[in-house]
């Protein structure tokens, strides 16, 4: 048990700092752009949200390749590892031109769809003119990170994220002052390009990947491409469903008025610090489960228990800390009295949801690592289908009602994933018994 827990913590904490570094880079960008005025902030915010949507596309080859490389590493099969890497790059090469060219040609209609014809529209178009071609770099960096994580190296992606964030901290003031909003886009793409170059060099230095490159791939590149798509698409769809649910929830909160929306927006951004820790445990559980795929149902159950323990302890500590420090947090964001009161109330009510979410997210990593991502997607769809009508019905109670809806929907998802995990365990145990009888 302790061995699984230690391995999960070892894999998860670099992932967590990678996620924090990415968020910090976005905050740095926003701080410098805010000096250019409200339209500039709106333009960059739209571009940032667009990139969040594109992250769902990147998960097809990023997370899919992570799992397949981890499977090959666990099986000690360098041919399968080389095939997994080739499959990831093949999907990247297939998807990236479509996104880059389509996005670049449609950058003005895309910006107008969100912003209308206001002062922010031309600024968003200028930002997209640089950031959308730069998606090729963003996608490639996501894939490099995924390959390294699958090979058991989560520290190098952390260092690459810190490198990109540090370079953005240095470059943003100069490029934004010189070129305005396009300078912000150029800074991000340039700094990511440097991190990508370092990441590609890290791939060549990795011992496991270097050894895999010297053997024939286990399958043709077309088969590897299809395998990557089958593995990654459910993870991408899961992320997309969650993003769509979060967006719909904002629309429900908007029924409560501007004060509630402002408080919810600030509080939800603060929650990222906690939820990213849970997602880091999820990635660690997926990688560790994939490495030990031959360990059977007992290994998966042990990893699941330890993942829930680690993520649950982190979430509990975060919930207590947020509850105690909520007034200071809202004051730090400069919230007015009404917004601050609503935000403090939300942060103090959200603890049960945060704890349940940590358990569900952690168990999700076990499903992803063992090939159960399609099942997990169905649970996510179920949870979203419960969450939104319930939030609408309970919104009359204000933000506490929204918290109650979030917690209730997450309880349903936790119960569903526990039932499915037990069924998979019993089915695996039955298969093992049958094999033993045949032997």
Distance set, CA 27 to CA 4, 23, 35, 45, 269 (Å) = 35, 6, 13, 11, 11
- Residue 439's pLDDT is 34
- Lowest mean pLDDT across 14-23, 184-193, 200-209, 280-289: 14-23
Say if residue 14's pLDDT is above 60. Answer: yes
Say if residue 21's pLDDT is above 50. Answer: yes
d(CA 144, CA 201): 10
What would the pLDDT profile of 70-116 be if each residue is shown by its tens digit? 989 988 899 999 999 999 999 999 999 999 999 899 888 888 876 67
Q: Is 154 helix (H, G, I), strand (E, B) or coil?
A: coil
Q: Are 131 and 188 in contact (CB under 8 A)?
A: yes
What would the pLDDT profile of 136-192 be if each residue is shown by its tens digit? 999 999 999 999 999 989 899 999 999 998 999 899 889 988 898 899 999 999 999
Confidence of residue 222 (pLDDT cuts 50, 70, 90): very high
Say if residue 294's pLDDT is above 70. Answer: no
pTM: 0.83
Q: Are 317 and 358 in contact (CB under 8 A)?
A: no
d(CA 196, CA 160): 8
Percentage of residues in the chain with pLDDT exceeding 90? Answer: 31
Say if residue 298's pLDDT is above 60. Answer: yes
- CB neighbour class for 426 (10 Å; exposed up to 12, middle 13-18, buried from 19): exposed
Residue with tokens 């499959």: 87
Mean pLDDT of 344-372: 87
Closest of 185, 245, 237 to residue 64, by C-alpha:
237
The token pair that represents 25 in the structure block: 């880079």
- Ordered alpha helix ranges (H), 333-398: 337-349, 351-369, 373-394
Mean pLDDT of 186-214: 93
- Residue 424's pLDDT is 67
Confidence of residue 236 (pLDDT cuts 50, 70, 90): confident
Q: Are 150 and 290 in contact (CB under 8 A)?
A: yes
Around Cβ 45, how many Cβ atoms within 10 Å?
17
- Residue 367's pLDDT is 83
């Amino acid at each position: 048990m302790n061995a699984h827990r230690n391995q999960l913590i070892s894999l998860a904490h670099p992932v967590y700092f990678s996620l924090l570094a990415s968020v910090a880079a976005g905050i740095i960008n926003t701080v410098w752009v805010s000096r250019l005025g409200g339209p500039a902030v709106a333009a960059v915010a739209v571009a940032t949200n667009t990139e969040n949507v594109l992250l769902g596309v990147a998960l097809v080859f990023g997370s899919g390749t992570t799992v397949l490389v981890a499977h090959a590493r666990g099986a000690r099969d360098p041919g399968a590892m080389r095939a997994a890497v080739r499959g990831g790059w093949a999907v990247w090469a297939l998807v990236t031109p479509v996104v880059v060219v389509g996005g670049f040609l449609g950058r003005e209609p895309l910006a107008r769809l969100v912003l209308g014809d206001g002062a922010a529209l031309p600024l968003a178009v200028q930002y997209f003119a640089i950031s959308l071609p730069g998606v090729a770099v963003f996608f490639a960096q996501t894939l490099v990170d995924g390959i390294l994580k699958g090979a058991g190296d989560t520290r190098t992606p952390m260092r690459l994220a810190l490198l990109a964030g540090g370079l953005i901290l240095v470059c943003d003031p100069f490029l934004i002052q010189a070129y305005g909003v396009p300078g912000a886009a150029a800074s991000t793409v340039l700094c990511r390009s440097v991190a990508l170059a370092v990441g590609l060099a890290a791939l060549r230095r990795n011992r496991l990947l270097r050894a895999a490159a010297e053997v024939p791939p286990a399958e043709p590149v077309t088969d590897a491409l299809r395998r990557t798509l089958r593995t990654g698409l459910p993870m991408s769809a899961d992320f997309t469903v969650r993003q769509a649910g979060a967006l719909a929830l904002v629309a429900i909160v908007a029924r409560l008025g501007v004060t509630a929306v402002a408080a919810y927006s600030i509080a939800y951004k603060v929650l990222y610090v906690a939820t990213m820790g849970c997602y880091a445990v999820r990635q660690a559980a997926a990688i560790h489960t994939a490495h030990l795929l031959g360990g059977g149902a007992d290994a998966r159950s042990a990893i699941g228990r330890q993942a829930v323990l680690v993520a649950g302890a982190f979430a509990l500590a975060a919930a207590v800390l947020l509850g105690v420090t909520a007034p200071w947090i809202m004051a730090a964001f400069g919230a007015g009295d009404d917004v601050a009161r609503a935000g403090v109330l939300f942060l103090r009510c959200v603890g049960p949801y945060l704890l349940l979410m940590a358990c569900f997210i952690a168990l999700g990593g076990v499903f992803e690592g063992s090939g159960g991502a399609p099942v997990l997607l169905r649970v996510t769809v179920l949870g979203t289908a419960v969450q939104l009508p319930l939030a609408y019905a309970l919104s009359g109670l204000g933000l506490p009602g929204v918290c109650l809806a979030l917690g209730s929907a997450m309880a349903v998802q936790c119960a569903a994933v526990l039932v499915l995990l037990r069924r998979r365990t019993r089915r695996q145990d039955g298969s093992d018994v049958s094999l033993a009888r045949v032997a």
